[in-house]
Structure 1
Amino acid sequence: MAVWKVLDTKDIPVRCRDLPAVERKVIYQKVTKSYKTTLDIPKGSLGETRSMGIMDQVFVALFYACILAIPLSFVPALTLSGLFLPRNYTIGLAAFYAILMLVPVAKDRRKEWIEGRLLQMMYHYSSYKVVWTSSVESQAKTPAIGSGGPHGVFPLGAVMSIPAMNEFMNINFVGGMASVVFSTPGLRSIGSIGGIDVGKMSVQRAIVKEGKTVGIVSDGISGCFAAANGTDEYLAIEDKKGISKMALRLGLNIAVVHWFGNSVCLEPKVDGFGMLKALSRALKMSIFFFTGRFYLPIPTRDPIVMCIGESIVLSGKKVENPSKEQVDEVHKLVVEAHKKLFDDMKGAYGGKYASKELVICS
């Protein structure tokens, strides 16, 4: 019988990352708690924030400032420099951003991230927890495709889920990221945590030829704007059926993931006319402003929890050209699975999530 498991990264000894992988696994098993049902998880326990030293908070905040503030600032900075500073200053600033865009960045450093201090501090900053149903463990070695959300302003939960999936659940996991991420100053460095281009060919190659499970933030750019809709939780997947279609074509199971806390740690600032959303979709990159802690482009310390629900198990048979009806049927299962997972876990997170509803939108 499947049970629910909860791993709170605060229970992992700080020096655990220095141990051999086999010894780390033993520690993870010891600190993981099991519950018969989601109702048995203490209410509000997943939304608890841990204490953290000021200097450690500053270090993590500076890292987030580098990956989030630099892409937010380079257009205004170049514009203002061109208007008010000598030409040489503008050329120098442009050269600086060009270097940040062009200097080679390692594409896959999952092992280094897992064993590094920075990731542990990121977990600590976000009081990061992983919750999953034990039934997914039997499928760990089978390549699958993941539907995760919400995206929010920045999919911080998704980024941290890549090393977490690899380390805590022993899944050969990578995350699909928009192409623009790998060429955006500052932001592109995050691709080394285990990101691949979210394009169809890249995802298929990772699954079919490399035997990896690929997670996709299913609401994408639309999810950036959906987060500004109101007080509920919004998942913009109503008309996004690409994951369902690919699962049918490749005969894959679909893993369903929800990142609690991801949509509230940064607040989007968008126009009420939908112009920025339309422009973002046209350019395939998010264009808007946002604020976070102290009104800066730094995430607040709202706890982030990755919840992995029951996988959608298809027949395993490949459907080369799935019909619209087949795709719609699987997509309906995906939507229902997302809503069930959210409803099952929101009480355990508690706080601002206890009264929220998951709204599926486009």
Structure 2
Amino acid sequence: MPTNYYKLNLASLPDGLYNQETDVKEWLALTTTSKGSFPPDSLNRVLRMDSSVELERIIGISLWMVGNVLPFVLPLFILASILSSTGLVLLKAFLTYVAVLASLNKFIFAPMFMKRYKRKQLSNTDIKDNQYLHTERNNQKYNSLQFVWPESVNRPALNDKPVIFTAIPHGAVPLGITCYPVWSKLFNDKLCHWTCAPVVLKLPIVSSFMKHMGYIPAKAKHIVDTLTKKEENVGVVLDGIAGMFRSDKNTEIANIKQRKGIIKIALRAGVPIVPTYGFGHTSLWKIVVDPFGILEALSLKLDISLTPFFGRWGWFLGPPQRVPLCVALGEPVLCPKIDEPTQDDIDKYHSQLLQSYADLFECHKASYGWANKKLVFV
């Protein structure tokens, strides 16, 4: 019997409803439903948006990108400037680029959108409220973001326990997950903490933002404590950095065949895992992969991206293509509480997770316009 699916278009959600105070019932009232798959090509439509939103994201995302690499490349530019006059020119050009982006963001776009969305400065204590930040709201509009989920995930199905959301693919940047309030509001009332590489939470400026959004290190202890002691949700981009490097025109490749640690965590905590697929994640940026796999190996070793990628208009570390994103959730894997799960236990529920991913991809791929694409696990 076909499953009922729900769809919420975040990009067209009225701005007046995008706040912590709005009852989730008002969001759910705007959902549409389908018995089984949604119609072909109905989940891949780019919506028109305000030009000021587009400009803000062009500047804001580019600033965010350079902020992530700044601690690593600035010392190289300084060294190059010491060694040659060309290096000095490059250093000045780089610093000018960063200064222009930062100034436009601070003095024009941030004040404009904080006023428009009636936002205030980030709080040190109210993470849920922080998650409604204007930049993430504009991400949803820029990429025409939609969410799709089955009856088994719809309220009140997940009300009683914290949940692990496992998202794939990573792509250059998994923008679909940055609609943070969805994970903390739509499926239950528990604050959701996404995980990231521990080194990211040590970067200047970037780390402050991440912590204000509720990010925690992608380590078992932090995840277990969040689930069991705080009884709050956790989000994990399951393929991690490895998910940046493998995709092509006809195939989406999910590097999760051996990613079983999250299953062990879920079994010990006794919480469900909800598989999540970000349709469009691999099309946002063009990633340059060296033929020898050196950058991939270094990125995996250091748990941080070291590969160059290009966005709209071929802009290095620039804004993404205006690709529509559809974040689709699958049937949850209901993990019983097992204090010391065996390898057989882990393999059993990991197989269920892979099957749920395969089913959700097959269910929604034609709706996203990918009828001929395949999902392959490696």
Q: Identify whether the pair has TM-score above 0.5, normalized to the shorter chain.
A: yes
- What TM-score comes out, normalization by structure 2 length? 0.82
Structure 1 range deviating more: 278-287 or 198-207: 278-287
**Shift in alpha-carbon separation, 1:323–1:20, aligned structure 2, 3 A:** closer
1:239: how far off?
1.3
Alignment-derived partner of residue 196 in structure 1: 216
RMSD (Å), alpha carbons? 2.9
1:110: how far off?
3.0
Alignment map for 1:82-97 (pairs within 5 Å): 82-84=79-81
Alignment map for 1:133-152 (pairs within 5 Å): 133-136=150-153, 137=155, 138-152=157-171
- In the alignment, the residues of structure 2 paired with residue 177 and residue 57 of structure 1 have an alpha-carbon distance, to the nearest angstrom, of 27
CA contact (8 A) 1:253 1:311 kept: yes
Structure 1 range deviating more: 138-147 or 239-248: 138-147
Query: Paired residue for 1:313, among 324, 327, 334?
Result: 334
Query: Paired residue for 1:170, among 167, 185, 188?
Result: 188
Alignment-derived partner of residue 80 in structure 1: 77
- In the alignment, the residues of structure 2 paired with residue 74 and residue 231 of structure 1 have an alpha-carbon distance, to the nearest angstrom, of 36
- In the alignment, the residues of structure 2 paired with residue 247 and residue 109 of structure 1 have an alpha-carbon distance, to the nearest angstrom, of 24
1:105: how far off?
9.5
CA contact (8 A) 1:177 1:197 kept: yes
CA contact (8 A) 1:67 1:186 kept: no
1:221: how far off?
1.4
Superimposed CA distance per residue, residues 140-159 of structure 1 (whole angstroms, 9 cap, x where no aligned partner): 33112222100111121122
SS of match in other structure, 1:46: coil
- In the alignment, the residues of structure 2 paired with residue 343 and residue 106 of structure 1 have an alpha-carbon distance, to the nearest angstrom, of 42
Identity of matched residues, %: 25
Higher helix share: 1
Paired residues in the alignment total 342
- In the alignment, the residues of structure 2 paired with residue 55 and residue 281 of structure 1 have an alpha-carbon distance, to the nearest angstrom, of 37
CA contact (8 A) 1:47 1:349 kept: yes
- In the alignment, the residues of structure 1 paired with residue 212 and residue 126 of structure 2 have an alpha-carbon distance, to the nearest angstrom, of 5
CA contact (8 A) 1:171 1:213 kept: no
Query: Paired residue for 2:322, among 301, 316, 336?
Result: 301
Superimposed CA distance per residue, residues 216-266 of structure 1 (whole angstroms, 9 cap, x where no aligned partner): 111011111224x55411110011111112122222221111111111101
1:340: how far off?
0.9
1:323: how far off?
2.1
Alignment-derived partner of residue 54 in structure 1: 51
**Shift in alpha-carbon separation, 1:186–1:157, aligned structure 2, 3 A:** farther
Query: Paired residue for 1:182, among 187, 198, 201?
Result: 201
1:55: how far off?
2.4
Alignment-derived partner of residue 215 in structure 1: 235
1:336: how far off?
1.2
Structure 1 runs not aligned, ≥5 long: none
Alignment map for 1:1-362 (pairs within 5 Å): 3-17=4-18, 20-22=21-23, 25-38=24-37, 41-84=38-81, 106=124, 109-114=127-132, 116-136=133-153, 137=155, 138-160=157-179, 162-172=180-190, 173-185=192-204, 187-188=206-207, 189-227=209-247, 231-296=250-315, 297=317, 298-314=319-335, 316-318=336-338, 320-350=339-369, 353-361=370-378
SS of match in other structure, 1:21: coil
- In the alignment, the residues of structure 1 paired with residue 12 and residue 301 of structure 2 have an alpha-carbon distance, to the nearest angstrom, of 44
Give the residue type in structure 2 aligned to 1:323. T
Give the residue type in structure 1 aligned to 2:348. E
SS of match in other structure, 2:366: helix
1:294: how far off?
1.2
CA contact (8 A) 1:7 1:32 kept: yes
- In the alignment, the residues of structure 1 paired with residue 159 and residue 151 of structure 2 have an alpha-carbon distance, to the nearest angstrom, of 10
- In the alignment, the residues of structure 1 paired with residue 211 and residue 65 of structure 2 have an alpha-carbon distance, to the nearest angstrom, of 13
**Shift in alpha-carbon separation, 1:68–1:293, aligned structure 2, 3 A:** same
Superimposed CA distance per residue, residues 46-85 of structure 1 (whole angstroms, 9 cap, x where no aligned partner): 1000012322211012111111123335544432333336
SS of match in other structure, 1:349: coil
CA contact (8 A) 1:68 1:187 kept: no
- In the alignment, the residues of structure 1 paired with residue 19 and residue 264 of structure 2 have an alpha-carbon distance, to the nearest angstrom, of 42
**Shift in alpha-carbon separation, 1:69–1:328, aligned structure 2, 3 A:** same
- In the alignment, the residues of structure 1 paired with residue 73 and residue 164 of structure 2 have an alpha-carbon distance, to the nearest angstrom, of 38
